[in-house]
Structures are given as structure tokens and as C-alpha cells.
């Protein structure tokens, strides 16, 4: 396929820093892929000296695959295509000596982090969930903004932030003694390292000679800085982004980085991609009109040369059960009429919990579906159990992992025993695991308890030895067998069927681990510690969802839909307090929700439905729902509201003396 002039320019401009403003569906991925190929084939770069950073593992995976197809597997080998987090992990891994980190560090996911914070702040925060959560996000913000604990303390003005800064410091100390890192560390640590250590900086600047960054509007301060440090003086890079698709500011993303880049690099070349190849003109028009309500830094005029297309429909359901049924019925009808595939349909929603009823409706109608993101594979108890074991084997100082698995299956080690063990370990400033082997433990615990603990500890050590001896696959096999995990599942599950399901999940995990340990044509073999950290980044899960690509209706959150496209898209729950979400209305941050709606709309290629309810059950009470303000902002002549004359004429407007929008609101109220 030929590139249009803008795309062409973006691909061939390689002499300096380059910013590509790429509207939705304007072929930005194609630009990146072509550019990588161009750099290797025409500019003399070696694959191993080019890095491309994407926002999700899935996107990285896809890009790797597409690049490999376009330039041949051999040439593509060695390219660094990953997320920021995986790149950071790689840097940490290779520089762990300089950093003074032990090789087998644990990667804490946010649940681990939460558990640790809860533990550490019992006295100060009194187990208050909301407080702990805001502490967690404060810490995450600090880390994302490159603020270390000492600086946080210095900057703290009020009492609350002083307390939080102090707890941040305590958290950091404990993470260190657990030999653990959290997600934010994966960016923070490499950035600080590159900033302070010239030798390391030079090494990485030599290694990565050209850097490409996708979804640039989602970078936060530390990622911005990391990019800057990696590209150095040469500043050979291309970043691609779209401020209208910035939907992650709640976790520190700074779309202003798009502007900042212009001041930091005066020679920055700005290229706009404005032709949309994805959506019908009508869908694009709706999206453009909606997003025009937001402020803009760079003006952008997206256009499409595709057909004008079908009207956008708004389905109105009495309640949330009906909402799900309506969607499913419409898919069945539409598929029958249009002879389409289930895989052509996507259902998008604001929050993960909204998927439940949809799932149920799909199941009862025997429609195959795939639900991505959300309550993932990795939050299943059985997976967390086995991962807990693996983490402990790799890094015995990981107290979180220890606590998860020490009495699983039951080994007669109850809370009382653990309480004492914890107290003892705390006094001696050692990990729980080390405490087991301390001779003085006898003075604090009954012999039976000490013995159970000792047995457990020895078991972990033994497994670790098998793994390091070069037989990690064998070690995992033994592990699952020796803890009688299968029996445990059958005993604890409510039905044999459920146990079977869980065991299947375990086999799946086992398969992935084995694959990663052994490597394949695109990926090098990994060590067990690497596998464990990579799985925590949910790397494998997303890879898997691809080859499972049967003919299935796709369900996902609006956030998860970014970067994807589907011929037919349903957006459900497009109501006030859901699609602008209540909290964003309270915080007066509706613009970001509008961008979220914009992202959803621009996923659609051919047809688009919005679905709303008149009322919905929210924990016991039924509450009335109002259509989202975004629906009222759309061009009404492109919409068909169900059971209703679509458009108010100019005459009606004059007669009633009310605005278009007020009238629509009235109509909705009368009917419900």
C-alpha cells in the first residue's frame, strides 16, 4: 500500500527530532513500521540499535510481528520493541550490578504494593482503605514525577503530605529490603541511573541510536526524561501521538509533553497526519464535532474519503439487563442480515464491572466472545498461588509472596504462628523466610510450629536449587506436584467442574512459563527470575490473546480499546455519571471523559451504536439514568434515537423557545 504525502514525510525524515501528530485511524502504526524498515534498509542502522516503545505489550507484540513480516524475520531480529516498562526492566536487569540489586528481584503489582502499604501504615493510617489508596497514588505520582522520598519530604507543606512523604520513605526502604520493585520503579530507576551515571548513559546511547515512541501523549514526566536521556545530544527520534486521545492523565500522563518537546528541541520537525482511513465520514464527523468541545493545542482537521455511511443509532433499554439483551439481539440480527462475523463486533464500556451482564447475555445466546483486560488471568487465585511460589523461589526475601503461600495448602501454620514469626523477623530486621532458619526462633515459637515452618523453608530452598541447577521446567513441575495442588483445588472448589477449570489455568500457566524459558524464533530464552517478572507485567497474557483469535465478539473497556478498530461498535452505558463518570464530573475533568468517548467512537469503521438505560440497579437501589451530555453534543442529524423522530426542526426550536439539547432532554424524561 502506498503512503500518503504526510506519512511519506514522516517515514523519511530521519535527520533530527520528529513529532508526528497522528489523528485516530491515520495510519500511525504503518508509519512507525515503515520507518523502522527504512532505517534498517536504507539508512544503515542495525536492528539491534533501534528501539521502539509502545504503550501496551499487546501493541509491542503486534508491531514486532508486523515489522518482522515487512522486512523479514532475520533483519528484524534484535530490534527493541517493547513497552516503556519492559525496556526499563531490561535496563535494570543489565545494570543490576551498578544498581546494587540482587539478580532475583521481585516485581510487585499494585495488589502487592497495597498489601505492603497497609502493613506499613497500620499505626498512621488505621487501615483506612481510601487513605491507603491515596497514599499509593501519591507515591506513584512522586515516582512518575522523578521525586525521591527526600525531595518529597522537603517539598511537603501541609501535615498530610509530610506524613505521606515519610511513609513514602518507609515504603521505599521496605521495598529495598524485600529486594522488590514496583511498576513505577521500572521507569524511575533507569531514569535516575542514566541521569547520574555517565558511563551507563553513554553505553545506552550507543546501544540505542534511534528511538521511536508511540502514544506519546500518554508519557509521564519520568518517561519523558527517560526518552531525553536515551536519545542524548544526537536526538535522533520520532514520537507519535494525538492529544485528543490522551486518556491516562489520571495516572500521571502529561499530554503537554507534546508541547514541551517543541521547546526542548527547537529543531523539532512537526508532521500532521489528518487523513483517516478507518471510519465512515459520518462517524468521523460525529467524532470531530464531539471533540471540538475540548480545548486544543494543535489544530487538527481529520477527514475521511470513505462513504458517508449508516446513521448512528441510539438504543434505549429499560434497565441494564435489557441493555445487555438489546445489544446481543442487535448483534444477532445484524450479523444475520449482513452476513458478518462475530469478530467484527466490539462492545465497549466505561468500567470493567459492566461486562458481567453482557457476558451473561452472550452466554445464554451461545455467542462466542472474548473479554480482554480487566479481571485478568493473573488475578485468578490459582495463578496468584503458583506465581507466589515462583516469586518466593526466585526471591526468598519477598515477604508478600511468603505470606500468600506459606499455608497453602494447609500446613498447620495459622495466623498466630505467623504473627509471632513476623514479630521476631521485625526485631531482627530480617525477612520472614530468613527468620525460619534463625536458631533463636525456638525461643519464640512452639516446636511443632517451628518444625512446620522449617519443612516449608527447606522445600522452597530445594526447589530453588533444582531451578538454578538448570532445570527450571522440572522444578516447576515438581513444585506443583509436591504441594499436591491438584488435590487442593478439588478440595477447595465448589464443584469438580470449577476445579478442572482452575487446573486448566494452571496447565496454561505452566505452558507459558515453559515456552518463555525455552524461547522461540522471535524471543530469546529467559531465566526463571526473568519469566516471573515478565509474567507480572502481563506480557504473556496479551501475546496469547492474539493467537486465540477465533471468531468472537470483543468486549473491553474504552481504555483498552485504544489503538484497535472494529467494523461494528457498541458503546454501552453512555449516560451521565457513567460516561462522563461521576468522579470526573465532581473533579471538573469532563474533557478527559470526552476524549474517552472520542476514542470509543473512532474505533468504529462502519457502524456505531450507543446504548443507554432508563434506570439501572446500583447496589440495591434503582436509580434513574440520563443520557450522556456527549450524546447531546453530537450532530443530531447523524443520529437516530430509538422510537423517536430523530431531529427537532428549527421551527420547533423557535416555538418552544428551548434549545435543541433541552428539548431532547425533555423528550427523554417524558418517555421514561
Minimum CB distance to DNA, residue 204 (Å):
19
Neighbours of 370 (CB within 10 A): 17
**Is 238 known as a binding-site position?**
no
**Residue number with CB closer to DNA (566 or 668):** 566
User: Distance between CA atoms of 91 and 93, rounded to whole angstroms?
Assistant: 5
Minimum CB distance to DNA, residue 537 (Å):
6
E strand or H helix that includes residue 337: helix 320-338
Cell numbers that stand for 85 in this block: 516498562
Minimum CB distance to DNA, residue 559 (Å):
4
**Residue number with CB closer to DNA (30 or 616):** 616
Name the 3-class secondary structure at 15: coil
Minimum CB distance to DNA, residue 299 (Å):
26
Cell numbers that stand for 87 in this block: 525496556
Minimum CB distance to DNA, residue 148 (Å):
19
Of 161, 194, 7, 236, nearest in space to 90 by CA? 194
Angle at 350 between CA 345 and CA 352, to 5 degrees: 85
The H-assigned helical ranges of 396-495 are 399-405, 415-428, 432-436, 447-468, 472-482, 485-492
**Is 583 known as a binding-site position?**
no
3-state secondary structure 341-393: CHHHEEEEECCHHHHHHHHHHHHHCCCCEEECCCCCHHHCHHHHHHHHHHHHH
**Is 59 known as a binding-site position?**
no
**Is 292 known as a binding-site position?**
no
User: Residue for cell digits 503530605?
Assistant: 161
Render 29-60 in DSSP notation, one character per residue: HHHHHHHHHHHHHTS---GGGEEEEESSHHHH
**Residue number with CB closer to DNA (37 or 560):** 560
**Is 153 known as a binding-site position?**
no
Minimum CB distance to DNA, residue 595 (Å):
10
**Residue number with CB closer to DNA (39 or 572):** 572
User: Distance between CA atoms of 348 and 557, rounded to whole angstroms?
Assistant: 5
User: Residue for cell digits 523502522?
Assistant: 36
User: Distance between CA atoms of 82 and 423, rounded to whole angstroms?
Assistant: 42
**Residue number with CB closer to DNA (184 or 530):** 184
- Classify strands 615-618 and 621-624 as parallel, antiparallel or unpaired: antiparallel
Neighbours of 27 (CB within 10 A): 22
Cell numbers that stand for 501 in this block: 477449570
**Residue number with CB closer to DNA (7 or 354):** 354
Strands (E), 505-620: 553-557, 566-572, 604-613, 615-618
Minimum CB distance to DNA, residue 541 (Å):
9
Minimum CB distance to DNA, residue 37 (Å):
25
**Residue number with CB closer to DNA (233 or 621):** 621
**Is 252 known as a binding-site position?**
no
Minimum CB distance to DNA, residue 619 (Å):
4
**Is 176 known as a binding-site position?**
no
**Residue number with CB closer to DNA (273 or 541):** 541
3-state helix, strand, coil in the chain (%, to 5): 60, 15, 30
User: Distance between CA atoms of 423 and 420, rounded to whole angstroms?
Assistant: 5
Interacting residues toward DNA by CB under 7 A: 55-57, 83-86, 109-111, 127, 129-130, 183-184, 247, 250-251, 350-353, 356, 360, 373-374, 379, 407, 410, 412-417, 449, 537-538, 557, 559-560, 581, 583-584, 587, 618-620
Cβ atoms of residues 668 and 626 within 8 Å: yes
**Residue number with CB closer to DNA (395 or 417):** 417
**Is 29 known as a binding-site position?**
yes
The H-assigned helical ranges of 254-302 are 257-264, 281-291
* Residues with active-site annotation: 28-29, 214-215, 245, 603
DSSP structure class, residue 215: S
Radius of gyration, CA atoms only, the chain: 27
**Residue number with CB closer to DNA (404 or 614):** 404
DSSP structure class, residue 273: E
**Is 24 known as a binding-site position?**
yes
Greatest Cα pair distance, the chain, in angstroms, is 90
Cβ atoms of residues 211 and 236 within 8 Å: yes
Minimum CB distance to DNA, residue 113 (Å):
9
CA 335 to chain centre: 31
In this structure, is the dihedral angle defined by the CA atoms of residues 245, 249, 253 and 259, taken in order, positive or negative?
A: positive
Name the 3-class secondary structure at 202: helix
- Helices 472-482 + 447-468 axis angle, to 10: 150
Residues that constitute the known binding site: 22-29, 278
Residues that constitute the known binding site for ATP: 22-29, 278
Amino acid at each position: 500500500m502506498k503512503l500518503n504525502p504526510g506519512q511519506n514525510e514522516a517515514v523519511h525524515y530521519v535527520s533530527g527530532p520528529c513529532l508526528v501528530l497522528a489523528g485516530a485511524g491515520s495510519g500511525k502504526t504503518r508509519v512507525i513500521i515503515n520507518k523502522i524498515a527504512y532505517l534498517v534498509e536504507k539508512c544503515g542502522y542495525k536492528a539491534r540499535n533501534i528501539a521502539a516503545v509502545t504503550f501496551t505489550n499487546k501493541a509491542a507484540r503486534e508491531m514486532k510481528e508486523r515489522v518482522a513480516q515487512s522486512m523479514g524475520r532475520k533483519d528484524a531480529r534484535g530490534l527493541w520493541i517493547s513497552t516503556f516498562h519492559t525496556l526499563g526492566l531490561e535496563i535494570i536487569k543489565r545494570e543490576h550490578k551498578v544498581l546494587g540489586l540482587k539478580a532475583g528481584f521481585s516485581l510487585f503489582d499494585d495488589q502487592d504494593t497495597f498489601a505492603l502499604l497497609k502493613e506499613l501504615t497500620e499505626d498512621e493510617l488505621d487501615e483506612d482503605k481510601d487513605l491507603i489508596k491515596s497514599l499509593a497514588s501519591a507515591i506513584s505520582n512522586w515516582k512518575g514525577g522523578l521525586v525521591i522520598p527526600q525531595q518529597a519530604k522537603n517539598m511537603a507543606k501541609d501535615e498530610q503530605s509530610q506524613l505521606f512523604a515519610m511513609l513514602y520513605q518507609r515504603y521505599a526502604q521496605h521495598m529495598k529490603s524485600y529486594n522488590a520493585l514496583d511498576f513505577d520503579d521500572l521507569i524511575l530507576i533507569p531514569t535516575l541511573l542514566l541521569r547520574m551515571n555517565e558511563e551507563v548513559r553513554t553505553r545506552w546511547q550507543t546501544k540505542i541510536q534511534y528511538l521511536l515512541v508511540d502514544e506519546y501523549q500518554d508519557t509521564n514526566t519520568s518517561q519523558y526524561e527517560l526518552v531525553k536521556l536515551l536519545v542524548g545530544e544526537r536526538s535522533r527520534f520520532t514520537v507519535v501521538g494525538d492529544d485528543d486521545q490522551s486518556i491516562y492523565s489520571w495516572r500521571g500522563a502529561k499530554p503537554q509533553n507534546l508541547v514541551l518537546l517543541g521547546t526542548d528541541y527547537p529543531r523539532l520537525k512537526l508532521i500532521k497526519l489528518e487523513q483517516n482511513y478507518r471510519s465512515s465520514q459520518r462517524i468521523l464527523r460525529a467524532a470531530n464535532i464531539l471533540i471540538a468541545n475540548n480545548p486544543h493545542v494543535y489544530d487538527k482537521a481529520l477527514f475521511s474519503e470513505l462513504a458517508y455511511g449508516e446513521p448512528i443509532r441510539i438504543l434505549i433499554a429499560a434497565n441494564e439487563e435489557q441493555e445487555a439483551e438489546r445489544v446481543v439481539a442487535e448483534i444477532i440480527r445484524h450479523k444475520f442480515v449482513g452476513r458478518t462475523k462475530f469478530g467484527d463486533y466490539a462492545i465497549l464500556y466505561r468500567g470493567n464491572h459492566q461486562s458481567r451482564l453482557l457476558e451473561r447475555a452472550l452466554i445464554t445466546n451461545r455467542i462466542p466472545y472474548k473479554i480482554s483486560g480487566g479481571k485478568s488471568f493473573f488475578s485468578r487465585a490459582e495463578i496468584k498461588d503458583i506465581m507466589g511460589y515462583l516469586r518466593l523461589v526466585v526471591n526468598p526475601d519477598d515477604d508478600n509472596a511468603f505470606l500468600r503461600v506459606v499455608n497453602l495448602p494447609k500446613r498447620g501454620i495459622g495466623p498466630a504462628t505467623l504473627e509471632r514469626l513476623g514479630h521476631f523477623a521485625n526485631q531482627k530486621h530480617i525477612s520472614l523466610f530468613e527468620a525460619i532458619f534463625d536458631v533463636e526462633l525456638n525461643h519464640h515459637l512452639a516446636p511443632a510450629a517451628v518444625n512446620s515452618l522449617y519443612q516449608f523453608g527447606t522445600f522452597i530452598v530445594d526447589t530453588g536449587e533444582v531451578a538454578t541447577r538448570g532445570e527450571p521446567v522440572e522444578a516447576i513441575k515438581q513444585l506443583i506436584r509436591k504441594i499436591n495442588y491438584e488435590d487442593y483445588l478439588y478440595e477447595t472448589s465448589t464443584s469438580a467442574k470449577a476445579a478442572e477449570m482452575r487446573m486448566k489455568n494452571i496447565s496454561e500457566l505452566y505452558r507459558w512459563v515453559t515456552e518463555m524459558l525455552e524461547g522461540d524464533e522471535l524471543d530469546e530464552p529467559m531465566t526463571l527470575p526473568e519469566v516471573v517478572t515478565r509474567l507480572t507485567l502481563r506480557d504473556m497474557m496479551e501475546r496469547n490473546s492474539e493467537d486465540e483469535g477465533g471468531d468472537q465478539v470483543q468486549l473491553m473497556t474504552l481504555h483498552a480499546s485504544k489503538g484497535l478498530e472494529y467494523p461494528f461498535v457498541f458503546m454501552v452505558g453512555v449516560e451521565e455519571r457513567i460516561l462522563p463518570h461521576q468522579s470526573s464530573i465532581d473533579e471538573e475533568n469532563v474533557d478527559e471523559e470526552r476524549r474517552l468517548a472520542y476514542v470509543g467512537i473512532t474505533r468504529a469503521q462502519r457502524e456505531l451504536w450507543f446504548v443507554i438505560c432508563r434506570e439501572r440497579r446500583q447496589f440495591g437501589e434503582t436509580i434513574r439514568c440520563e443520557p450522556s451530555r456527549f450524546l447531546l453534543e453530537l450532530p443530531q442529524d447523524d443520529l437516530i434515537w430509538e422510537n423517536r423522530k430523530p431531529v427537532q426542526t428549527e421551527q420547533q426550536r423557535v416555538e418552544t423557545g428551548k434549545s435543541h439539547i433541552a428539548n431532547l432532554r425533555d423528550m427523554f424524561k417524558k418517555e421514561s
